[in-house]
Homo-oligomer: A and B are copies of this chain.
Amino acid sequence: MFHSKRAVIKCFQKINLSRSLNKKVELSPCIRQILENTPEPDVPIEINGWVASSRVSKNVAFLDIKDGTTFENVQCVVRPPTLLPQSIKNGTGLKVKGVWTTSRGNQKFEVQVTNQNAGEIEILGDVEELFPMIKSGHTFQYLRTIPEYRLRDARLGALTRFRSQVETSLVNYFDSETFIKTSPPIITASDCEGAGELFRIESNSKLQTGDEFFGKEAFLTVSTQLHLETLCAALNRVWTLTPCFRAEESDTNRHLSEFWMLEAEIAFVEDVGQLTTFSENMIKAVVKNLVDDYKGMGKNLLSTTDDQNAHSMVERWKMLLAKKWDSITYTDAINILQTAYDSKSVRFITRPDWGDSLKSEHEKWLAREHFQNPVFVTDYPLEEKAFYMKINEPSKGELGPTVACFDLLVPDIGELIGGSIREHDVTKLEKEIERRKMDMMPLQWYLNLRKNGSVPHGGFGMGFERLLLYLSHTENIRDVIPFPRSVNSCIC
């Protein structure tokens, strides 16, 4: 005998929530928690962490302890210095028992470790003489060769915390905008964009047999868009942050073979302006959190870099928040670029003609010099873009068909986001696929979406590491991901 659904819901509302969770065997507080909830002065305290620096004199020793949860250290004043174990080096793992006291030094508080207050320092983990992180000032390039240690560097640690906080910030932004976070597949049978830079996968044990684990060729996804459109047709507003893979052989500071891509797809959207407004609000929400210094997100970054870089970073964040971002059509962009070229006010290597792709020099000049602001460039020529983009009605000044799409260009970086309205009319879509001489068969499932309850929709994609690179004013994309993968590089 079961209750009716109404009765079930009623009984479920009565579940006793007052019973507190077990709190017996807790984690001991980390440094971030200690600093966020500063203890009363003169209480005994235990700090776990690693030695950031030490200074020993005749009567006293100073020990800076870090634990990776924040850029801030806790200073321990050890008196007499003989309480310090012999083998203390930078990087040594320690448990320090002492008393939390008001400090007369730079920091507001310090930990006093003395015989009188039962102070004690226990070594948890020694460091070998040759441990490379004992010295500071290694180049990021060198640090990439020792992935097992590199994140202990203060700056790279701050970047990794920053990454986490930006992700959390985005999760909450999308949640507040009633988006569903979804998990499109990583393994796919389709090379939907025809980009060609695919990784193929196969079960290791079948490699020699000629059998296929999935019964057909299978690849790692280069973009989840087509699958995301399926989710959008069922759930309306969907987004994802998933790994994507491209077997690009170019070895630059802007490319990774394994990267995380944020993609969003929204139903009942007909105007590119809705997509640009949404993505502008999304990035501004993240930057606002940076500036509001959400859990030290901004401070963490600023405090682990030099003054010049900190200054440039703050200027960038200010610029991003200062005003509404500009938006122009591709056709207007070409006119602006041609005028600039012809007037010799700027030296471009190439003068772009209508129909050409915008080169990196053009994109950067538009954002950095001309608008001095992020700028959306919309309505690119059809031939420059993918088959699924909605073709516009002809418009004045355009020398050929254009599509309802946008790229977000930001100063110094160039393209950060790309998106479009998708063609939702199955006849038009099939016609375009035929015109491009693409294989219709593997796309049948995608075309089915347009046959049944298809509605206007659109979306965009943003390389997550590209965003992190930009906001943190970092030079090489390999430094905003813990274990970068690129051609000939897959350490551990």
Contacts and interface: CB of A to CB of B under 8 A. Distances in A.
A235 B203 contact: no
Contact of A148 (B5, B205, B277, B449): B449
A148 B274 contact: no
Interface string A13-26: 10111010111111
A394 interface: no
Contacts of A288: 17
Contacts of A491: 189, 445
Contact of A317 (B12, B92, B131): B12
Contacts of A22: 277, 280-281, 324
Interface in A174-200: 175, 177-178, 180-190, 196-200
A448 B269 contact: no
Interface string A306-343: 01101100100110011110000000000000000000
Interface residues of A, number: 157
A126 B91 CA distance: 65
A144 interface: no
A413 interface: no
Nearest to A465: B183
Interface string A262-278: 00001111010110111
A456 interface: yes
A21 B455 contact: no
A487 B292 CA distance: 49
A454 B302 contact: no
Given A187-B485, A453-B93, A456-B124, A271 B15 contact: no
A387 B134 CA distance: 29
Contacts of A178: 30, 32-33, 69
A449 to B, nearest CB: 6
A50 interface: yes
A120 interface: no
A41 interface: no
A259 B433 CA distance: 33
B488 A215 contact: yes
Contact of A483 (B184, B451, B485, B489): B184
Contact of A247 (B151, B205, B281): B205
Interface stretch (A108-116, A226-234, A351-359, A363-371): A226-234
A412 interface: no
A43 interface: no
B455 A17 contact: no
B190 A69 contact: no
A317 B14 CA distance: 12
Contacts of A215: 488-490
A140 interface: no
A267 B180 contact: no
Contacts of A453: 50, 91-93, 125-127, 131, 152
A24 to B, nearest CB: 7
A182 B230 contact: no
Contact of A160 (B182, B257, B308, B456): B182
- For the complex of A and B, the 9 pairs showing the least CB-CB separation, nearest first, are A203-B247, A125-B454, A151-B234, A25-B273, A93-B455, A68-B235, A185-B483, A48-B268, A214-B490
